[in-house]
Amino acid sequence: MKKIGFLVVLGLLFIGTFKVFSQEIDNKPVAKIGYLTISQDEFQERYEMTPVFRKHIKRMRESLKLEFLYSLIAEKLWALEAENRHLDTTSVVSFAAKEFEKMFVRDALYKKEIRDKVTVSDSEIIQGYARNNTKLEVNYLVSDSESVIRDLYNLLQQGIPFDTILALRPEKDEQVNPIDVVYGQMQLNIEDSLYNLKIGEYTAPFFTPDGWYIFRLKDKTEKVLNTVYDRDNSRNATKKIIEARKERQLFEKYYSDFFKGRNVDVNANLFRSLASKLSDILTKRKKDYDVVEKDPVYLEPKDLINLEAQFGKDTLDIEYIKFKKDPMSFDEFLKTLAFNGFSSVKTDYRSIVHVLNIKTSTTLEQELLSRKGYVEGLNSLPSVISDLEMWKENYLYQYLQNQFIDSTTVSDSAAYAEYLKNNKTADYPEEVNIVEVLTNSLDTVETVLNQIKAGVDMHKLAMKYTQRTWTKAKNGEFGFFPIIAYGDIGRIAATMKIGEIYGPLKVPEGYSIFQLLDKRAPYKTEPQPFTKLKDTIERSMEYKKARGSIINYTVHLAKKYGVKIFPKTLSSVEVTDINSMGFRFLGFGGRITAVPLLAPNVDWVEKYINQNKLAQ
């Protein structure tokens, strides 16, 4: 295994609806692009929550901030142009924007009805602080049967020692050492009972989702916190535990009250037909890609187009979720399903029915909650508008750039002319070899990043988690490929040192996390027939043409809309040197990356500066 030089992702942050970082000064613009601005807050949030290559090198801090700003400016320029072309009114972008807005509206509803109503009294903090700083060691008796646990409790009541009973039970093997109780992780009623026990005492039987339990307190010790810093940390941790527990209680009550008595029908025939087609699609993919039994199989974007074609317009217009007002059409549900993702480990019809039932129920519930938020005008909140603008601009940027890339072609005659120009010499660009984990699951991203931090080898992670099926047989390795291949993956790999890890990088297939294993310098070979070199020449020309077009068009857009940077304001933005990626947990379920991920995009800047157009 090659030595890892530097992990791009060194930490994971988890945030709710609030902004993690904030300036203590006025939120001034660091740049203006047309009528758009990049504020200090937006820059700081995007920078801190995006993997930035070599961010740990302190002396590079200001240059990395400027490079990231250039990438952010490029995003805004392309988003402006996409709007100018009215791409924001296309069905694809309009639907995506509406789904983003619904997410943020639900999140705002959750904040208003649940999170903002959480209060913690001083007495609760005092009690929680004492418990948080007390270590409990317990043993337990457990059974799925209430009658069995009652019989065991009766034996204890008759004076039979706890250890004597435990010695005859199968759960004794799990308790070679007593189990530590962590404050805040048990049901409140069980926790109250445990912290009130004296050493040697046991609880009455308790029912939990895992079965019936009787706990015995084996030992109790109090932590000694010698510094103010330790005591403050413990107090803050205690408050967060209490707040999380109360938030959960408020959520359960709100959820129960909100959906009580609500009955919404779903078109059963369409449900069964969709389940059958999904089963066919995923079963075929599992076989074609040789997906192992324990790995999920994912619905891909191209599948939506095929499904819509199979069902036809008349069927797509049929009501699927029959809300009393504004029912959801089958086409709208399919788009929602594709937007939120669909996967299943088992692909037989019965298993797909189960997963689809959950997805349908979730869509129904989230739609009702979104509508509640709209009724209350939460879509007009500044925080919702700000979040929507950020994600919509990023989506428009990607949408327009993808159109450029998809439209790039090289004719056979142009490729042949290039072949002749090089005197029939095969001219190969720099090549790289990487090992990669590709996934469209944020859960998998989180798991992989945590295991990278723990030192797990990338090959092992790729074997287990990557969805790029053709690399699985090689433990996630690509083998040498030209840096012009695989879009941003090849482009970024060319800038890396051997052993370095980058990611997650947002790619069309999901999220890519990769390690550079080796590099090979450009080289030439003796003249070879055009038919042998044709594909290599065309790929190289297409890459250079697409990349050149994007760079030139970015320069054109900078001239068209105008760009102004405020260096002093940018310098005043405080940032850390720790690479982090954040996940944002959304109210009422779901999560996204804390900010839209942005690949480095600075190649356009030098050309623009050389034309003396960049105002600094």
Picking from 33-42, 281-290, 518-527, 563-572, which range would have the lowest pLDDT averaged per residue?
518-527
Average pLDDT score over residue span 28-53 = 93
Task: For 464-482, give the DSSP string.
Answer: HH---HHHHTTTTB--SEE
- Cis ω before 382 (30° cut-off from 0): no
Average pLDDT score over residue span 309-329 = 96
pLDDT higher than 70, residue 279: yes
4: confidence class by pLDDT, cuts 50, 70, 90: very low
Sheet holding 328-329, edge to edge: 265-266, 319-322, 328-329
pLDDT of residue 292: 76
Topology of the domain comprising 134-222: Chitinase A; domain 3 (3.10.50)
Alpha-carbon separation of residue 235 from 15, 126, 231 (angstroms): 20, 9, 6
pLDDT of residue 534: 67
AA identity, residue 118: V
The answer to whether 381 and 108 are in contact (CB under 8 A) is: yes
pLDDT of residue 461: 94
Average pLDDT score over residue span 94-118 = 97
Question: Which residue from 222, 251, 246 is spatially nearest to 234, judged by alpha carbons?
Answer: 222
Q: Which residue has the higher pLDDT, 12 or 153?
A: 153
395: confidence class by pLDDT, cuts 50, 70, 90: very high
Average pLDDT across the chain, whole number? 89
pLDDT of residue 532: 64
Please check whether the domain covering 412-549 is classified as CATH 3.10.50.40.
yes
pLDDT higher than 60, residue 612: yes
62: confidence class by pLDDT, cuts 50, 70, 90: very high
pLDDT of residue 14: 46
Picking from 158-172, 311-325, 533-547, 592-606, which range would have the lowest pLDDT averaged per residue?
533-547
pLDDT higher than 60, residue 22: no
3-state helix, strand, coil in the chain (%, to 5): 55, 15, 30
**134-222 and 412-549 in the same fold:** yes
336 vs 333: CA distance, rounded Å: 5
* Ranges of each domain in the chain: 134-222, 412-549
pLDDT higher than 50, residue 3: no
Picking from 119-123, 414-418, 422-426, which range would have the lowest pLDDT averaged per residue?
422-426
pLDDT higher than 50, residue 21: no
596: confidence class by pLDDT, cuts 50, 70, 90: very high
Average pLDDT score over residue span 307-311 = 95
415: confidence class by pLDDT, cuts 50, 70, 90: low
Instruction: Tell me the per-residue pLDDT of 188-207, one tens digit each, with 9 for 90 and over.
Output: 999 999 999 999 999 999 99
Picking from 55-69, 237-251, 321-335, 413-427, which range would have the lowest pLDDT averaged per residue?
413-427
DSSP E strand stretches across 294-429: 297-298, 319-322, 328-329, 343-344, 426-428
Average pLDDT score over residue span 10-33 = 60
pLDDT of residue 526: 63
pLDDT higher than 80, residue 426: no
Instruction: Tell me the per-residue pLDDT of 504-556, one tens digit each, with 9 for 90 and over.
Output: 999 888 899 999 999 998 766 666 676 766 666 667 777 777 788 899 999 99
Instruction: Tell me the per-residue pLDDT of 204-262, one tens digit each, with 9 for 90 and over.
Output: 999 999 999 999 999 999 999 999 999 999 999 999 999 999 999 999 999 999 999 99
Q: Which residue has the higher pLDDT, 347 or 510?
A: 347
Structural tokens at position 527: 């003249």
pLDDT higher than 60, residue 118: yes
Question: Which residue from 509, 608, 612 is spatially nearest to 77, judged by alpha carbons?
Answer: 608
460 vs 455: CA distance, rounded Å: 11
55: confidence class by pLDDT, cuts 50, 70, 90: confident
pLDDT of residue 119: 96
Average pLDDT score over residue span 392-410 = 86
DSSP E strand stretches across 189-268: 206-208, 211-222, 265-266
Name every residue whose Cβ is closer than 8 Å to that of residue 40 and which is 6 or more positions away in sequence: 23, 25, 27, 28, 29, 30, 569, 572, 573
- Report the share of the chain in percent with pLDDT over 70: 90
Name every residue whose Cβ is closer than 8 Å to that of residue 374 and which is 6 or more positions away in sequence: 105
